[in-house]
């Protein structure tokens, strides 16, 4: 075992078990409001009305207090309107923002890395149009009926809004969120017969979608351009029926010797729900050369690549060229501990948004009830193997047999978990490194190639059908 105080990027898992001051109280207020939202805000019964009032009380000391108190009063009286619901969503978001901040402080202690400045200014506030208003009114109606009251027709009402938003790349954020949310709601209709409701999740998606309809919330200010060597750590894939996003987590070594910094590069695309597995990589691959570089274990040399204040590279293949080979584990062991972590934009201050690259080794492993746990310095940390993409050489068995791991530290439902991005393991007496995004750029692996072929065939059929039917 590697002792916790060895330094050099080994994380201090003991800190993860420490109680965070005020966290339970904030989450209790969130839960109360979320329960009210499940029943609907039209005429909340007394018990859930307490949830709405409780939310207002929880932000009583903040600048939002006045507006939220009024919104809660009106809502409890059955007279809540659009502006009131927006105020309640803002209050809920602020509470979760405070939870996020407390957790991020804890994570900084765990990694021993320094965060860049916390404060990130809000975006410029491009004017919002009719589509935003239409989305807002759909969301307001949803909140009135509540998750228990959803029906097919009401849910389908957002489809034209999503379609129009998708056509405008600038609106991809609200479009993608509303699309994924609507698919889940549609699959759960009618709400009256639902066995269980994903209470916090849908309240998250609802409040976030509502705030995204306000001017400026979806914009993160640019922070100029960066030049230097980009060392990939791993790839995180996210998907719903109508979209996929790959995010490469990496360390940037700027030219001129400034401190290295943790950055991300993202590429996303809308997709038909039948495009899955390797098909996801195929959709994204042509639009970001970094995916292949990360898959092959190669650095990239960036020249004047745009970056946001959150450390998100706005990837442009024209600003990048392939560099020398770069082992992600060397990057994780040597460079990551000295890197500065990215700051977080106001709307992104949410526990679900926490995804901090970490490096672990010398941990114990236990498996039971289908749950994999690492023991880091004796402290348990749940491993979320389910987040590894389907089209990947990384398996649960390899994670369980690993001796070193690059992962994303996340937090959900009250506890931390580790999403593996790559592991070093011994397979048939040989040391190997397996990456979740190992097939992002393609693969010669037998199983992987079969998946690639099936995905190519599926997209070929869809494109043929589209060519024949779409432009009639």
Partner 1 sequence: MSEWERSSTARVVAPARPRRLAKVPFVELADGRLQGVVSSGSDIARVYVSSVVAGSYAFACSTNNNRPCGGARGAYCNHIRALISEAVLQFGPERVARYLKAETGGDEGPSAQSIAHAMSSTRPPQGDAAAAAPVFSRFLRHLSYLELAPVTTPLPEMQWFPPTRAVA
Interacting residues with partner 1 between 289 and 308 (CB under 8 A): 308
Distances (CA, A) of 21 to 27, 98, 100, 103: 12, 11, 12, 10
Please tell me whether residue 379 binds partner 1 under the rule CB under 8 A: no
Give the shortest CB-425-to-partner 1 separation in angstroms.
Answer: 18
Q: Any contact of residue 108 with partner 1 (CB under 8 A)?
A: no
> Which parts of 238-257 interact with partner 1 (CB under 8 A)?
238-243, 245, 247
- Residues 6+ away with beta carbon under 8 Å from 82: 136, 137, 140
Task: Report the 10 Å Cβ neighbour count for 155.
Answer: 22
Q: Is 141 helix (H, G, I), strand (E, B) or coil?
A: helix
Distance of CA 458 to the CA centre of its chain: 27
**Binding of partner 1 at residue 2 (CB under 8 A)?**
no
Residues 306-365 that bind partner 1 (CB under 8 A): 308, 310, 312, 314-316, 345, 347-348, 350-353, 355
- 142 is a site residue for partner 1 (CB under 8 A): no
Q: Which of 136, 204, 250, 358 binds partner 1 (CB under 8 A)?
A: 204
166 interacts with partner 1 by CB under 8 A: yes
Distance of closest approach, residue 404 Cβ to partner 1, in angstroms: 22
Q: Which of 104, 96, 190, 210 is nearest to 147 (CA)?
A: 190
Minimum Å gap between C-beta 33 and partner 1 is: 13
Query: Which residues, numbered 56-85, are part of the site for partner 1 (CB under 8 A)?
Result: none
In sequence order, what are the residues at sequence separation of 6 or more whose Cβ sits closer than 8 angstroms to the Cβ of residue 215? 125, 126, 127, 128
198 binds partner 1 (CB under 8 A): yes
**Options 45-53, 70-78, 164-172, 292-300: segment touching partner 1 (CB under 8 A):** 164-172
Question: Min. distance of Cβ 198 from partner 1 in angstroms?
Answer: 4
- Pick the piece of the chain touching partner 1 (CB under 8 A) from 18-26, 46-54, 186-194, 398-406: 186-194
**Residues 71, 89 contacting (CB under 8 angstroms):** no
* DSSP per position, 356-419: EEEEEES-EEEEETTEEEEEETTEEEEE-GGGS-SS-S--HHHHHTEEEEEEEEEEETTEEEEE
Integer angstrom CA distances of residue 53 from 50, 70, 87, 207: 5, 10, 13, 17
Q: Which of 284, 299, 398, 409 binds partner 1 (CB under 8 A)?
A: 284
CA triplet 167, 170, 171: central angle to 5 degrees? 65
Q: Does 273 bind partner 1 (CB under 8 A)?
A: yes
Compute CA 441 distance to the chain's CA centroid, rounded to the nearest angstrom.
Answer: 22
The reply on whether position 177 binds partner 1 by CB under 8 A is yes
CB of 283 to partner 1, least distance (A): 7
Strand, coil or helix: 350: coil
Q: Which of 455, 422, 394, 384 is nearest to 294 (CA)?
A: 422
Distances, alpha carbon 235 to alpha carbons 243, 244, 299, 440, in Å? 17, 13, 14, 8
Place of tokens 């009719």: 130
Considering the rule CB under 8 A, would residue 385 count as an interface residue with partner 1? yes
Give the DSSP letter of residue 306.
Answer: E
Q: Please say which residue, 324 or 413, places its beta carbon nearer to partner 1.
A: 413
Does 183 contact partner 1 by CB under 8 A?
Answer: yes
Compute the least distance from the CB of residue 107 to partner 1, in Å: 15
Minimum distance from CB of 103 to partner 1 (Å)? 13
- Binds partner 1 (CB under 8 A): choice among 100, 132, 249, 264: 264
Q: Which of 63-71, 104-112, 295-303, 450-458 is the region at the interface with partner 1 (rule: CB under 8 A)? A: 450-458
Given the complex with partner 1, which of 243 and 294 has the nearer CB atom?
Answer: 243
Contact call for residues 212 and 177 (beta carbons, < 8 A):
yes
With contacts defined by CB under 8 A, name the span among 49-57, 105-113, 274-282, 361-369 that binds partner 1.
274-282
Nearest distance, CB of residue 56 and partner 1, angstroms: 21
Residue from 68, 288, 335, 372 touching partner 1 (CB under 8 A): that is 288
Interacting positions 408-447 with partner 1 (CB under 8 A): 412-414
Do residues 312 and 267 make contact, with C-beta atoms less than 8 angstroms apart? no
Does residue number 164 form part of the binding site for partner 1 (CB under 8 A)?
no
Cα distance between the two ends of the chain: 66
Q: Please say which residue, 135 or 267, places its beta carbon nearer to partner 1.
A: 267
The structure tokens 């692996």 sit at 445
Tell me which residues in 9-48 interact with partner 1 (CB under 8 A).
Answer: 27, 31
From 84, 92, 136, 271, residue interacting with partner 1 (rule: CB under 8 A) = 271
To partner 1, the closest distance from the beta carbon of 10 in angstroms equals 26
Q: Closest approach of Cβ 395 to partner 1, in Å?
A: 10
User: DSSP state, 126?
Assistant: P
Question: Using the rule CB under 8 A, is 268 a contact of partner 1?
Answer: yes
């Amino acid at each position: 075992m590697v002792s916790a105080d060895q330094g050099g990027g080994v994380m201090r898992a003991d800190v993860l078990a420490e109680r965070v001051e005020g966290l339970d109280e904030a989450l209790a207020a969130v839960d109360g409001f979320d329960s009210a939202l499940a029943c609907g805000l039209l005429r909340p019964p007394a018990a859930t009305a307490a949830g709405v009032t409780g939310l207002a009380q929880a932000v009583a000391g903040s600048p939002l207090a006045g507006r939220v108190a009024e919104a809660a009063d009106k809502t409890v009286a059955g007279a809540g309107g659009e502006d009131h619901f927006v105020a309640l969503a803002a209050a809920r978001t602020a509470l979760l923002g405070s939870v996020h901040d407390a957790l991020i402080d804890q994570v900084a202690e765990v990694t021993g890395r320094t965060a860049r400045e916390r404060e990130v200014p809000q975006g410029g506030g491009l004017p919002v149009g009719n589509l935003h208003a239409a989305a807002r009114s759909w969301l307001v109606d949803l909140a009135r009926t509540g998750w228990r009251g959803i029906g097919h027709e009401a849910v389908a009402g957002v489809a034209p809004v999503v379609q129009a938003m998708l056509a405008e790349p600038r609106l991809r954020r609200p479009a993608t969120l509303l699309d994924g949310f609507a698919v889940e709601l549609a699959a759960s209709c009618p709400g009256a017969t639902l066995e269980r409701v994903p209470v916090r999740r849908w309240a998250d998606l609802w409040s976030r979608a509502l705030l995204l309809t306000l001017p400026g919330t979806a914009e993160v200010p640019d922070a100029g351009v960066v030049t230097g060597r980009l060392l990939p750590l791993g790839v995180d894939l996210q998907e719903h029926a109508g979209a996929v996003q790959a995010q490469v987590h990496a360390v940037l070594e700027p030219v001129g010797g400034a401190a290295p910094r943790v950055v991300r590069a993202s590429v996303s695309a809308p997709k038909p729900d039948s495009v899955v597995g390797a098909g996801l990589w195929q959709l994204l691959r042509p639009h970001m050369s970094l995916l292949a570089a990360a898959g092959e274990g190669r650095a990239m040399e960036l020249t004047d690549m745009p970056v946001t204040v959150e450390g998100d590279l706005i990837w442009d293949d024209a600003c990048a060229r392939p560099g020398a080979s770069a082992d992600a584990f060397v990057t994780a062991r040597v460079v990551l501990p000295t890197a500065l972590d990215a700051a977080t934009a106001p709307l992104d201050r949410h526990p679900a948004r926490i995804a901090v690259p970490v490096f672990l080794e010398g941990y114990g492993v236990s498996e039971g009830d289908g749950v994999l746990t690492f023991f880091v310095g004796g402290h348990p940390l749940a491993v979320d193997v389910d987040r590894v993409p389907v089209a990947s050489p990384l398996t649960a068995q390899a994670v369980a047999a690993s001796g070193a791991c690059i992962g994303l530290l996340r937090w959900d439902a009250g506890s931390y978990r580790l999403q593996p991005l790559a592991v070093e393991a011994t397979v048939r007496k040989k040391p190997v490194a397996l990456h979740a995004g190992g097939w992002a750029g393609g693969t010669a692996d037998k199983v992987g190639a079969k998946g690639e072929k099936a995905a190519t065939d599926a997209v070929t059929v869809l494109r043929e059908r589209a060519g024949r039917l779409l432009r009639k």
